[in-house]
Amino acid sequence: MTSVLVYGAYGHTGRFVVAELRRRGFEPILSGRDAAKLPGGRPASVDDPASLDRALEGVAAVINCAGPFAATAIPVVEAAVRAGVPYVDVAAEIEANLDTFALEVDSVVVPAMAFFGGLGDLMATAAMGDLPEADEIHVAYALSSWHPTAGTLSAGRVSRERRNGQRVRYANGTLEHRDDALPTLDWTFPAPLGPQPVFGEFSMADIVTIPRHLKVPSVTSYMTANAAKDLFAGGKRDSAESFVVDVVVRAGDEERRITARGEDIYAVSAPLAVEAVDRILTGRTRTKGGVASPGEMFDAPDFLEALAPHIKIDRT
């Protein structure tokens, strides 16, 4: 049985990843920083490279689910490189993603292989199809609610600190930091949802993953106002949300659209990450090494098809 190390295995998303690995026939090896939460597992600290090396002994790959990824991504990537195994993470932290993409390594490294960052990138790549470039890409999120995990809130604080409280967007071919308020507007989602009030330039990891490999000067993401207000209010996560992700690619007069629907933004990160590991280990990748975004690494349309029944995809 192929073993895969899950770093942060006892966290909210980590538990979903462990369950998905078992469902897919892998042997999950549980790891993380808190030994008390890992009976029979392999505790390891990002401050102790030797402990990470011991944790990675004999595994075929590692999935990092331990945020804030500003602290964990680089040490775990470096350990994976030393072990000669591929690395996948579920980081939605823009700054941590940028740190990972800046690395020069020979091993396969795929950051942001999750609901935020990975899914939008795969969808945008599939929608682009044979277009050599686009004028703009829009990624609109409609969540029925958003009661974030403690890990999400902690990661958000770290990101805000790293950008000195500014917000960030991708426009004019570059990341821009701004002090003004988020724009508000309506986004017309496919039926039956229809027009919804959203915050524009509500930037998620998509603004890093998509322009990493697609030729487009503007990537804008949106979040329904009700979900954003839930996020800002904090509070304990007590239920799963339903979601719609609507991606629109515009090139001249041509518009291409792809939509995803499903339940639980944390749970669906598990099949995304595990499918990625399975494809890497079986040689179904578009590159053989280095750091790559999900849409750059994998055949996007085929990958999206493989996510059924977790996520329903519609193209127009």
Structure token digits, residue 118: 């990975």
* pLDDT digit string, tens, across residues 232-266: 887 677 789 999 999 999 999 999 999 999 999 99
Total count of residues recorded for the chain: 316
* pLDDT digit string, tens, across residues 115-149: 999 999 999 999 999 999 999 999 999 999 998 89
Q: CA-CA distance, 296 to 192, in Å (whole number)? A: 32
pLDDT for 232 equals 82
pLDDT for 237 equals 79
pLDDT for 117 equals 97
Banded pLDDT at 270 (limits 50, 70, 90): very high
- Stated pTM of the model: 0.97
* Cα-Cα-Cα-Cα dihedral sign, residues 14, 69, 63, 145: positive
Q: CA-CA distance, 185 to 182, in Å (whole number)? A: 10
In the chain the domains, ranked by start, together with CATH numbers, are: 3-115+267-308 (3.40.50.720), 116-263 (3.30.360.10)
pLDDT average, residue stretch 215-229: 97
* pLDDT digit string, tens, across residues 92-102: 999 999 999 99
pLDDT average, residue stretch 78-102: 97
Q: CA-CA distance, 148 to 234, in Å (whole number)? A: 7
* Cα-Cα-Cα-Cα dihedral sign, residues 18, 19, 25, 27: positive
pLDDT average, residue stretch 96-116: 97
Picking from 85, 18, 36, the residue whose alpha carbon sits closest to that of residue 56 is 85
* pLDDT digit string, tens, across residues 159-181: 999 999 999 999 999 999 999 99
pLDDT average, residue stretch 280-288: 96
Average pLDDT over the chain reads 96
Q: CA-CA distance, 74 to 278, in Å (whole number)? A: 22
**DSSP string of the chain, one letter each residue:** --EEEEETTTSHHHHHHHHHHHHTT-EEEEEES-GGG-TTSEE--TT-HHHHHHHTTT-SEEEE--S-HHHHHHHHHHHHHHHT--EEE----HHHHHHHHT---SSEEE---SIIIIIHHHHHHHHHTT-S--SEEEEEEEES-----HHHHHHHHHHHHHTTT-EEEEETTEEEEE-SPPPEEEEEETTTTEEEEEEET---THHHHHHHHS--S-EEEEEEHHHHHHHHH-----SPPEEEEEEEEEETTEEEEEEEEEE-TTTTHHHHHHHHHHHHHTT--S-SSEE--HHHHS-HHHHHHHTTTTEEEEE-
Q: CA-CA distance, 237 to 118, in Å (whole number)? A: 23
**Looking at the predicted structure, is the pLDDT value of residue 316 above 80?**
no
pLDDT average, residue stretch 71-92: 98
